[in-house]
Structure 1
Amino acid sequence: MAADSQPFERGARGQAARPSGPGPFRRFVLAGMASLSYPGTKAEQLLLAPQELRTADPSFATELYNGHFGLAGRLAEVEAESPFEIDPPSEGWARELYGFGWLRHLRAAGNELSREQAKALVHDFVRLRRSKSGLAWQPEIVGRRVISWLSNSVLVLDTGEPQAYAEFLRALTAQLRYLSASYRDSPDGVPRLVSLMALIYAGLCIAEQQAVVDRYTRPFCKELDRQILPDGGHISRNPEALIELLLDLLPLRQCFVARDRAPPKELTDAIDRIMPMLRFFRTGDGTLARFNGGGPTPTDALATVLAYDDVEGTPVRSAANSGYVRLDLGSTLFLCDIGPAPAPSLSMNAHAGFLSFEMSSGDCPMIVNCGSPSLDHDEWRPFARSTAAHSTLTFEDSSSAEFTAGGVNGSQPALDSPLTGPLNAQAALADQGDNLRIKGSHDGYMTHFGVSHARQILVAPTGLLISSEDKLSAPKGIRSPEGLIAGDYAIRFHLHPSVHAELVPDGQSVVLTLRNGETWRISSNAPETTIEESVFLADARGPQPTSQVVLGGVMGEANEVRIVWNIERKVEEGNGGHLVDPNEAAPAAA
């Protein structure tokens, strides 16, 4: 774990993160409201510890004993100091520190030393909490801390030490009172649900807190119903959000049962909707498709939550509410983003990848999006969110959606910039009997360049031939506020690092060799076909070098440009058949 972390030199204070959060005045106001808003009484006894579903790493205890505190891909040398008294190496590190999720690693170590370490660190935080930065008091972090304390209470509580037991429960009560007054300040999306879940967890796990469960179940259920769409996707459009939520929703359901209470219908229904949607996003190699913030798939967590799926229902083809299409034909799997960006309050991690797709054959990934990097490689996030990091068309190296901070037309957005658009985004799947057709269009390049983009993808029933067209239209000619432009376009096919690409001598085709030995051909009528460098960001080991096939050209003075391209399983030697235009004929059943 720590071996892959980036070291942080404590002497380099100028490089330390300066995390944000509620200011002193806001915290003072919330503290005053807390005693009035919290319906529960002082915690006096814990009855239940929620099950911890997240994977634990017992080696964390050894590293901590040696003075290494590794979180979120960063390593802090704490030596004899408390980790709560040093400058955090990054905001991600600080968030995980204050969330106390790392207690599970100490619990997994299962020895007296790790137990004493855990008790000492919780005591440190309780002792220092009033002086801690505002980040520690962001509602979603308080919520995560409450859940972590409850889940690992067996580690830090000792009934043989009544004074320490009482101190812990006083601190827990203070966190809950603060959270009851501040949960509405949580950012939209998963953080808000975490804050509400923490209050309900506490009401179920602490004795005589029925009023807490009664007070917060209704707003929690209302929020859960809003965030989990009818097709099971999350309102943020990020596939990974579903895993994170299930890791908390499943134990919460168990807590209701353990207290002889029927879980709310909204809770059980949400879990039942999410399960098939996770299978919808799961690709042949077991990872989740890389759309809208999806990064390295936590395959252990994914396997854990899917083990609770009793139905194992077949995923739908079109998840209209979430804005995705999944075509599972023969050994070919094709996933396409056909939805616009989520609401601005939920779009800080969203990507400008409308009409991008991923494709695999069997358990071999082929065409991918670059994906979102892990926390320790945040410098890649602006690129990861841009259209150029996706397998779709870009015009003048710009993004099809608008980032509200940083970059020209969103080409290099600020790290957490909200995303809107693209304008007039429309797409749908049509089942035409002998083939399946995805058609979509948007005006994401209209404001800056006077250009609209339309894409259609026709997939044969066997999945062995995909014929497609990208069309650029500029009824009044291309334009730019910066003056004359050539109108460069690029249709990108980012390849998984396991794929080998080779340009065919005709200059119009590229042969892809998958790790199972299969060969596929990308061919087109584009003026230029090249193989260029790319990077696969959604790898747990960090960014991995890979390649991309780029079909390029210049729009110039034309009012319309049509680029036809095919992806076809290559069975025999030779240059393959003619280019299939999706407007003229259905693909043959290869």
Structure 2
Amino acid sequence: MQRFFGSKKAPLRLAAVPRDHVEGDRRKGEAIKSGVLLFGDQRLGLADLDFAAIGTQTPIARHLQSFAWLRDLSEVASREHGAPLVEAVVGRWLVAHGTRPDEAWAPHLWGERLLFWTAYAPYLLSSQDSGYRAALLNTLARGARHVDAQADRADPGIDRITAWSGLTAAALCVEGAVPRIARAEAGLMRALAQGQFEDGGLMSRSPHEQLLLVDRLGLVRAAYFAAKQDLPDALDAAAAAALSALHGVTMGDGKLASWQGGHPGLLRDINAVVEGCGMRARPLRQARGWGYQRLSALGTIVSLDAAPPPLPAMAHAGSASTLAIEIADGDQRIVVSCGGPGLGTTRMPRELIEALRSTAAHSTLTVDDSNSTAIMPDGKLGRGVTDVAIDRIEDNDASRIVASHDGYARRYGLIHERRLALGNDGKLITGEDKLEARGRKKIKDAVPFALRFHLAPGIEITPTADGLGAILRSENAPAWNFRCRGAMLTIEESLHVDGRGTPQPSQQLVIVGETSRHGTDIAWQFRRSS
């Protein structure tokens, strides 16, 4: 295979070191200084580190292998004080994995490693040991050549984009590799085209992965600037679109909507990436591919999942959440999805994680206690929603959306249509959910339905005397009054996974009834009291 970097005669060296503007986590950095790597609720001692034994299968092992933790260490330790610790860890990595390709050479792991090895090269290459320095740089070059050959074998989406992002950064930063930049760029743009919708959102439709995408592309941009190379317009546009899509699923508290098995995340982590990525963008409001429609007015935000679940090839575990909503009043969440573990570690049992992917775990309508898109025993998504029709209108009074999906058409001959309107003063949200008969399939008898609105933890519910409404009180927002007609309102227990991935008890409003073969119609509204 042709040598990826430089010539065989000249020693390898870095010609540029990107500046990572994303602030690390000082708490995690202090832990690393004391010899402990933290990731979620897991801890890993660094004093007697055995990379071969740790492997790559657990989230904390992959975090260790990626070297993304260098960002946290840099917040609390200068190069002078941090380099000895980093060199000790890298030395152990070279012994365990540096001689031949193994599981640690997965292209997405190498891609992330290249991004952080180049950005934090001073911490890795301060040693006076020329043998160590040569071994590290030669392994970096071998890793880049490996990614060059294997990147397109990574899973499409964030993994493949990460692999090509790392290779692009390496081509920009290693002396003599400039002729290889065009090939790396082409691979990265191809990976983006295969994994990112034109509106900027990832095809996995995961807000947590979208945050990673913005971070990856921010590091690539930093590599271009460090190398004094022109950033391709197409790459710059893709990065800006990615940030806009991320903003589109950010609620009033600055955290993420809980779509596709995710949770709100930690504000510090989200702000660090958004503020440090080097880009600015407005929230994406009308997303077709990404699929999340955003309504906002004077502090009130409504997020609507208006697309089919992601294809199995693009997501390991999608959710049956089509036409679900989330509502926030400023930094107070009102209506939520139950959420899930996201990309981190979790102690939740597998049965609960699978249940959180169901339609019933989202704020939308279910028919006969079934999912709008089937979740198979092996965890993959089956038949269900294939088409979502959507129409959006903005006028002087409100923003309005009419959307429908065919997830119940095959089994019950019913189309679910949801109408939403947010008044321009942000005080009134009106909705209407319809089940309309369509196609040859006809139900013989009445079929039960449930229209759920999961509420954020801490919201106090006071039912109205007529049983058709409730007053919702919270600490951080005025009271909201809920009303419905067309079915009976009940209050049930629920849960919401918080930003640390921990389930918290909550409640839900549930409108229950039966639909005939001719369909049904349920109207509802949320009105802010002041």
User: SS state of the match for residue 358, structure 1?
Assistant: strand
Using the TM superposition, name which of 180-189 and 270-279 deviates more.
Answer: 270-279
Return the TM-score normalized by structure 1.
0.80
Q: Taking structure 1 as reference, are residues 249 and 450 closer, same or farther at Cα in structure 2, changes over 3 Å only? A: same
Structure-1 residue corresponding to 2:345: 376
After TM superposition, give the deviation of residue 60 of structure 1 in Å: 4.3
Distance 1:307 1:58 in 2: 17
Structure-2 residue corresponding to 1:348: 316
Using the TM superposition, name which of 64-73 and 380-389 deviates more.
Answer: 64-73
Select 1:84's aligned residue among 45, 51, 58. Answer: 51
Q: Taking structure 1 as reference, are residues 550 and 501 closer, same or farther at Cα in structure 2, changes over 3 Å only? A: same
1:477-524 deviation digits (Å, cap 9, x = unpaired):
437xxxxx9632111111111422222222111111132351112221
Tell me, yes or no, if structure 1 residue 478 matches structure 2 residue 443. Answer: yes
Distance 1:309 1:48 in 2: 18
Structure-1 residue corresponding to 2:63: 96
User: What are the residue-to-residue correspondences of 1:107-506 with 2, within 5 Å?
Assistant: 107-110=74-77, 114-129=82-97, 134-158=102-126, 160-307=128-275, 314-315=282-283, 317-374=285-342, 375-377=344-346, 379=350, 380-403=352-375, 405-406=376-377, 414=379, 417-418=380-381, 421-431=384-394, 434-474=397-437, 476-478=441-443, 487-506=447-466
Given residue 437 of structure 1, which amino acid in structure 2 is its aligned partner?
Answer: R
Tell me, yes or no, if structure 1 residue 534 matches structure 2 residue 494. Answer: yes
Distance 1:59 1:305 in 2: 17
After TM superposition, give the deviation of residue 391 of structure 1 in Å: 0.8
After TM superposition, give the deviation of residue 274 of structure 1 in Å: 3.1
Q: Taking structure 1 as reference, are residues 326 and 260 closer, same or farther at Cα in structure 2, changes over 3 Å only? A: same
Contact preservation (8 Å) 2:35, 2:45 = yes
User: SS state of the match for residue 101, structure 1?
Assistant: coil
After TM superposition, give the deviation of residue 133 of structure 1 in Å: 9.4
1:116-164 deviation digits (Å, cap 9, x = unpaired):
2321211111111169995422210121122222222211213522111
Using the TM superposition, name which of 328-337 and 128-137 deviates more.
Answer: 128-137
Distance 2:280 2:140 in 1: 39
Select 2:524's aligned residue among 537, 540, 565. Answer: 565
Using the TM superposition, name which of 470-479 and 500-509 deviates more.
Answer: 470-479
Distance 2:100 2:179 in 1: 30
Given residue 185 of structure 1, which amino acid in structure 2 is its aligned partner?
Answer: R
After TM superposition, give the deviation of residue 474 of structure 1 in Å: 4.9
Contact preservation (8 Å) 1:347, 1:418 = no
After TM superposition, give the deviation of residue 202 of structure 1 in Å: 0.8
Using the TM superposition, name which of 111-120 and 516-525 deviates more.
Answer: 111-120
Using the TM superposition, name which of 112-121 and 332-341 deviates more.
Answer: 112-121
After TM superposition, give the deviation of residue 189 of structure 1 in Å: 0.7
Contact preservation (8 Å) 1:370, 1:535 = yes
Q: Taking structure 1 as reference, are residues 136 and 419 closer, same or farther at Cα in structure 2, changes over 3 Å only? A: farther
After TM superposition, give the deviation of residue 185 of structure 1 in Å: 0.6
Distance 1:71 1:245 in 2: 19
Return the TM-score normalized by structure 2.
0.88
Aligned length: 521
Using the TM superposition, name which of 536-545 and 493-502 deviates more.
Answer: 536-545
Contact preservation (8 Å) 2:18, 2:225 = no
Contact preservation (8 Å) 1:521, 1:569 = yes
Distance 1:453 1:188 in 2: 31
Q: Taking structure 1 as reference, are residues 82 and 543 closer, same or farther at Cα in structure 2, changes over 3 Å only? A: same
Contact preservation (8 Å) 2:451, 2:510 = yes
Given residue 482 of structure 2, which amino acid in structure 1 is its aligned partner?
Answer: I
Distance 1:64 1:315 in 2: 35
RMSD (Å), alpha carbons: 3.0
Distance 2:513 2:207 in 1: 33
Using the TM superposition, name which of 95-104 and 289-298 deviates more.
Answer: 289-298
Contact preservation (8 Å) 2:16, 2:173 = yes
After TM superposition, give the deviation of residue 54 of structure 1 in Å: 4.3
Contact preservation (8 Å) 2:32, 2:73 = no
Q: Taking structure 1 as reference, are residues 347 and 164 closer, same or farther at Cα in structure 2, changes over 3 Å only? A: closer
Using the TM superposition, name which of 419-428 and 504-513 deviates more.
Answer: 419-428
Distance 2:364 2:160 in 1: 33
After TM superposition, give the deviation of residue 39 of structure 1 in Å: 6.3
Contact preservation (8 Å) 1:69, 1:77 = yes
Contact preservation (8 Å) 1:290, 1:538 = no
Identity rate of aligned residues, in percent?
Answer: 28
Q: Taking structure 1 as reference, are residues 180 and 276 closer, same or farther at Cα in structure 2, changes over 3 Å only? A: closer
Contact preservation (8 Å) 1:103, 1:152 = yes
Contact preservation (8 Å) 2:422, 2:429 = yes
User: SS state of the match for residue 345, structure 2?
Assistant: helix
